Amino acid sequence: MISHSVSDLGNGRFKIRWREWVEEGGVRRRVERALTVTGKQASAQLHAKVVRALETVGYYEPEARVVARVGNLEQAAFSWLRHKAARGCTESTTSAYGAALKRFFAAVRRRERIADDRVVPTTVLSRDLFADVALELRRAGLAESTIYTTIRIGYDVWVWASDEPEAYPGLPMAPRDPSRVLPRPPVYGAPPAPTLAEVDACIRHLPPRMAYVARPAAIIMRFTGLRVGQVFALTCGDVNLARAELRVTTGKSRREKAEQRTIPISRHLVEELRARVSSQPPTAQLVQRRKDQHAESGKNHLPGMALTKGWERATQTGEVRREVWQPPNRKIGRPDHAFRAAFQAYLESVAVRDSVIDFLVGHAPASVRGKHYAPPTPDATRAAVERIPAIDWTGGEEEVPDNVVVLRPR
């Protein structure tokens, strides 16, 4: 009779016991063996191998300890990150995922006291681990959105590795209900949108020495509602001055990227862009980066700091409400996204239809008609953008040094 059993030791650990025949000193006798593994799948696999060996040869070789070894959790994370990149994640999104994984594993190493030159084993994963990591990140003063993203990505890696138990042995079973691991996602109230007058004040107050990149980007965002990343992806060839149109080749979602939509632009923006577009080849970047080496490396020099200074200075002069660009219920301000909010709020205030606004800014259509049929007519979108007034350049604009180039003609 074959004797074997599996015992649940708690915390995801299981002990497999069996009795087998051995020969010692010419005497054949039965002895009891046992192996402990982490993870229900790993224990089931080991138990099946033990039973198969007992039924065939009557004993199980000690090489079964290979099943009880632990996998490399960071290796699973790298595999998950490569998978995300292969599925078309943008470079910036992949970089953000990598930063979150780095933050997650740094917290795990501190909790488990694992040296930097040691492997992070798969056996460390548990609900308690994720709870402790979230508490540590919260004590470090990180924003709730950052904490949630870090824990979410760590959980995604856990689920990803669970599909390959042979590659990552010792991995505990991931909870099927993510809420058992994830903290509550942050909830933010919708802050008020700035008016176009407040946006114009920010543009006027941009620091002169930082306005080389920030001013043209801000002007385009004011008239189009595009995201700052989309503005930096524009080339001079994307602007059709004769037809007053702009081709948007990038987007936040896969749908927006696939649309490659062409939007009309205001005649005021055409005048702001005319000198730049007319004097540069179609392949030239519409908004130049600060230094040539940034262009060669493909890195965008986003003007967040300059825009923040512009908003701050306009706030101090009383021309801008602070809550429109630095909401009190958010740890991080929105110096660039406030332009997008102002564009949409203004069009709404002059009774432009939601479907037209959504098309111009690249939002997913809200209605069945918007999802499956043609976008708003060119006449409707043209009429909307032509209602946007010109920039108010009055109000004590600071002098711009000779070595600073701006889009608008002086």
- Per-residue pLDDT of the chain (410 residues), as tens digits, is 567 788 888 767 788 888 887 776 667 777 888 888 777 877 888 888 888 888 777 777 754 444 446 789 999 999 999 998 888 777 778 889 999 999 999 999 999 999 888 889 998 999 999 999 999 999 998 888 899 999 999 999 999 998 887 788 888 888 888 888 898 887 777 889 999 999 999 999 998 877 778 899 999 999 999 998 889 889 999 999 999 999 998 876 666 666 678 899 999 999 999 998 999 999 999 987 655 444 444 444 568 889 999 999 999 999 999 999 998 877 778 899 999 999 999 999 999 999 999 999 988 777 666 666 767 888 999 999 999 999 999 864 444 444 444 455 44
Q: What is the pLDDT of residue 403?
A: 46
Beta bridge mates, 28: 23
Dihedral, CA of residue 253, residue 256, residue 259 and residue 264, to nearest 10: -170
Q: What is the CATH number of domain 196-385?
A: 1.10.443.10
Q: What is the rounded distance in angstroms from the CA atom of residue 369 to the CA atom of residue 352?
A: 18
Domains of the chain by residue range? 4-68, 73-180, 196-385
Single pTM value for the model: 0.64
Residue type, 338: A
> What pLDDT does 409 receive?
42
Q: How many helices (H) and strands (E) does the chain have?
A: 17, 6
390 neighbors 268 (Cβ within 8 angstroms):
yes
CA distance linking residue 217 with residue 17, whole number of Å: 68
**Token reading at 87:** 């599925």
- 3-state DSSP assignment of residue 34: strand
Q: Would you say 111 and 300 are in contact if contact means Cβ atoms under 8 Å apart?
A: no
How much is the pLDDT for 171?
86
pLDDT score, position 99: 94
Write out the H or E segment, with its range, that includes residue 181: none
According to DSSP, the residues that pair with 30 across neighbouring strands are 21
Angle between helical axes of 144-162 and 91-112 (0-180°, round to 10) = 90
